[in-house]
Amino acid sequence: MVNRAIHVVPHPDGWAVKKAGSERASSVHRTQAEALDAARSQARRERVELVIHGRDGRIRDSDSYGNDPNPPKDRVR
């Protein structure tokens, strides 16, 4: 299975939007919020996972805009 995801990662010039497995950034932004807006649009357009990293590079959050292989299970009360 190919890991198709868009990542928001720290960059020396601010924050970068990168495709999984890519060496180069798709775009670089001054703030994480700006990078997140650009990445979210791209992830929706490409119907892929969005992975958000913190300043330390560790994964902080993720959102799925495609076919989620592990969708949340609804709880029936």
Has residue 57 got a pLDDT over 60?
Answer: yes
Residue 39's pLDDT is what? 97
How far is it, in rounded angstroms, from Cα 24 to Cα 63? 22
Q: What's the predicted TM-score (pTM) here? A: 0.82
Confidence of residue 31 (pLDDT cuts 50, 70, 90): very high
Percent of the chain at pLDDT > 70 equals 84
Mean pLDDT over all residues of the chain? 89
Q: Where are the chain's structural domains?
A: 5-58
Residue 1's pLDDT is what? 44
Angstrom distances, CA of residue 21 to CA of 5, 15, 31, 35, 76: 9, 17, 23, 18, 39
